[in-house]
Amino acid sequence: MNNRYLPAPEVLKWARATILTEGGALYNKDHAHLEYADVQFLWAPEGFVKAGRTVLGQCEEVTFRCGPWQKGRQQQQMADWFGMVPDFLITLDASYCLACSDAEFCALVEHELYHIAQEMDEFGAPAFNKYGLPKLCMRSHDVEEFIGVVRRYGASEDVQRMIDAAKTPPEVARINIARACGTCLLKAA
């Protein structure tokens, strides 16, 4: 296993063709606002633990809140990796992705993509920039709750929506996942 952080253009190419573009094998209209988004993927050599949970992927809006030299170094690193500084960066644990199933990989990538939302304007409608492209922002998880709270007090409206979704069959059939990433070019990462 490589101990370096490496750009993952193959993941971006796969995600665009498979998930983000209408007609893709696993196309998800929930991500329609990301079709032309400035997103890049990065392999990390391993995950990390935060608040007692293993982190396998992370989406972040790329910003530099630091002094001029540190900012310059960080911008240069991004430019060296991607040719420019992207608006959003999704980092994936390469060691996990080498071992996980196709369905687990697809779920991880989509989980991180769901963190990039389209901003809403003052009227609650989707917001667009001056070029007509969606204005993007970071989004939290749909549900943030403890099992013990649900067990003791019942499900909130958000938790109930998650329960209802979990009770339905998956929208993406296993065969479609296998066709979309069965040869898993990611195993070469």
Domain residue limits, the chain: 6-140+184-188
Residues 82 and 39: beta-carbon distance below 8 Å = no
pLDDT in tens, 148-175: 999 988 999 999 999 999 999 988 866 5
Q: Is the Cα dihedral 20, 35, 89, 183 positive or negative?
A: positive
Low-confidence ranges of the chain (pLDDT < 70): 1, 173-189
What one-letter code names the amino acid at 181?
C
Reported pTM: 0.86
pLDDT of residue 184: 39
Q: How many CB atoms lie within 10 A of CB 183?
A: 11
Angle of helix 102-114 relative to helix 174-181, nearest 10 degrees? 90
Q: What angle do CA 68, 71, 75 make, to 5 degrees?
A: 135
11/82 Cα distance (integer angstroms): 13
76/91 Cα distance (integer angstroms): 18
